[in-house]
């Protein structure tokens, strides 16, 4: 066997990066693995636009079947994104005896249970290193490097757009709308940034991290998801005064015999390394029994960063094919000590709470009385001066409280005539 044939479905930014690496590093990779990784066919709906790589015209096709049904192609790389037709392409590739590499976190989060089972039944693999953290080797590390460990938690900044926005607000005193506008101008945010700023993209990635750490493939509707669109510059600046930083975190952690899986803005100590992760960079903190606490850090997007992860998967699969070994991506052990998922209503946390209230006597007493009624204890309270007449922010830090009780208290407080907008509550994590 002198080479492995690859078919690429999706010749956009990352796909072009994959071709560039395979061209530029051809001899380098051959020396490392003893085989050539050869791209036999490239499929895309647009085969006329110029890319930053040169390829022979006869490699291009608009018909995916030329790849999926070619018996000489060993590995199919899916980089078109979305659910359909990506799912159907992967199934057909597996059906025709091909291993698959994908960066499609949304597809795996939604349809992974079916796809992984289908691959296992056919003695084939789906590799997906580029689906979380681009070039950060988090998937391989969790699956192989930490194979002897039991996991306690994983906390991740896994969306570069949201992290860029929060970083701009913190470092440059920008409002949310100003930071979002800049993210769009730099190409860090889509025209419609909803998936990023509302935490959905982070939740897709958390599904995969939870699966690798705890062996449970949760569905999106089992994850509590809250975005950053209600975070104000005031919240960011006051958090800094408290020695805290706001980050959009994807969190999976064991608490006794239950598993919490959630995505939301989180206040973390500025002394923690995660708090210094700025811009479009990603970072994932893993806590486990043998290796302890580990932090994986790097660019969470970018053509060559993501393409590097795809090529890493290609090399791993090539080694396995050459050795005649089946390296299942399903060699995941279920943590049998976990009995159920914990509802967001059942979690307990410290909280930062901001109320916008009329500047008049008795307001603080009313708020404190309602919190006390629901068993919520106040650790500190500050009433800040405000440039808008007669309305001031009241900021509280509360001791550990159950989410259900806090939400009930806030619902009651928000109905008071003296409260001018719904309270903002941000969970505090001692990561």
Residues 255, 266 contacting (CB under 8 angstroms) = no
Residue 150's CB: how many other CB atoms inside 10 A? 14
DSSP-H helix ranges across 221-345: 233-241, 303-323
List, for residues 344-357, the tens digit of each pLDDT value.
Answer: 999 999 999 999 99
List, for residues 19-51, the tens digit of each pLDDT value.
Answer: 999 999 999 999 999 999 999 999 999 999 999
Per the structure block, which two tokens stand in for 222?
């089992």
Q: Out of 87, 205, 247, 253, which one is annotated catalytic?
A: 205
Per the structure block, which two tokens stand in for 157?
């900044």
List, for residues 264-323, the tens digit of each pLDDT value.
Answer: 999 999 999 999 999 999 999 999 999 999 999 999 888 999 999 999 999 999 988 887
Residue keyed to tokens 């100003």: 178
What domains sit in the chain, N to C, each tagged with a CATH number?
Answer: 3-134+303-323 (3.40.50.720), 139-299 (3.30.360.10), 345-428 (3.30.70.260)
CA angle at residue 104 from 99 to 106, to 5 degrees?
135
List, for residues 143-196, the tens digit of each pLDDT value.
Answer: 999 999 999 999 999 999 999 999 999 999 999 999 999 999 999 999 999 999
CA quadruple 318, 321, 327, 330: dihedral positive or negative?
Answer: positive
> For residue 26, what are the contacts with CB-CB under 8 A and spacing of at least 6?
36, 37
CA–chain centroid gap for 403, Å, is 23
Could you confirm whether 254 is annotated as catalytic? no
Helix (H) or strand (E) holding 368: helix 363-373
d(CA 181, CA 175): 10
The span from the first CA to the last CA of the chain, in angstroms, equals: 49
CA distances from 358 to 258, 390, 419, 421, 422 (A): 41, 6, 7, 11, 13
User: What percent of the chain lies above the pLDDT cut of 90?
Assistant: 89
**CA-based radius of gyration for the chain:** 24
Question: What's this model's pTM, rounded to 2 decimal places?
Answer: 0.95
């Amino acid at each position: 066997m002198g080479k492995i044939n690859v078919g690429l479905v999706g010749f956009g930014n990352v796909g072009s990066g994959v071709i560039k690496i395979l061209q530029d590093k051809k001899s380098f990779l051959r020396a490392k693995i003893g085989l050539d990784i050869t791209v036999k066919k490239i499929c895309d709906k647009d085969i006329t636009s110029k890319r930053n790589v040169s390829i022979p015209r006869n490699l291009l096709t608009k018909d995916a079947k030329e790849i999926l049904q070619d018996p000489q192609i060993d590995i199919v790389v899916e980089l078109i994104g979305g659910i359909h037709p990506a799912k159907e392409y992967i199934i057909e590739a597996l059906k025709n005896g091909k291993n698959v590499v994908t960066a499609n976190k949304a597809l795996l989060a939604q349809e992974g249970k079916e796809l992984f089972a289908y691959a296992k039944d056919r003695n084939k693999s789906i590799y997906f290193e580029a689906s979380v953290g681009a070039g950060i080797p988090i998937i391989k590390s969790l699956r192989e490097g930490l194979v002897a460990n039991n996991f306690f938690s994983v906390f991740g900044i896994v969306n570069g757009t949201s992290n860029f926005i929060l970083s701009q607000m913190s470092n440059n005193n920008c409002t949310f709308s100003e930071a979002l506008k800049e993210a769009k101008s730099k190409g860090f945010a889509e025209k419609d940034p909803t998936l990023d700023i509302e935490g959905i993209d982070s939740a897709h990635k958390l599904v995969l991290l939870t699966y690798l750490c705890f062996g449970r493939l949760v569905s999106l509707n089992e994850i509590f998801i809250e975005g950053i669109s209600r975070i104000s510059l005031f919240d960011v600046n006051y958090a800094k005064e408290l020695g805290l930083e706001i980050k959009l975190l994807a969190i999976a952690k064991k608490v006794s015999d239950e598993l919490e899986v959630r995505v939301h803005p989180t206040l973390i100590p500025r002394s923690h390394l995660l708090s210094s992760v700025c811009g479009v960079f990603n970072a994932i903190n893993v806590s486990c029994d043998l290796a302890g606490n580990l932090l994986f850090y790097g660019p969470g997007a970018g053509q060559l960063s993501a393409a590097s992860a795809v090529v890493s998967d290609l090399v791993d699969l090539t080694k396995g094919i050459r050795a005649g070994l089946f390296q299942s991506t399903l060699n995941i052990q279920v943590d049998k000590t976990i009995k159920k998922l914990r509802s967001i209503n059942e979690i307990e946390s410290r909280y930062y709470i901001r109320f916008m209230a009329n500047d008049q006597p008795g307001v603080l007493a009313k708020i404190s009385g309602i919190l006390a009624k629901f068993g919520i204890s106040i650790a500190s309270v500050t009433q800040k001066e405000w440039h808008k007449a007669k309305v001031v922010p009241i900021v509280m830090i509360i001791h550990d409280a159950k989410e259900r009780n806090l939400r009930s208290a806030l619902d009651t407080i928000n109905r008071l005539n003296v409260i001018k907008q719904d309270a903002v509550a941000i969970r505090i994590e001692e990561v």
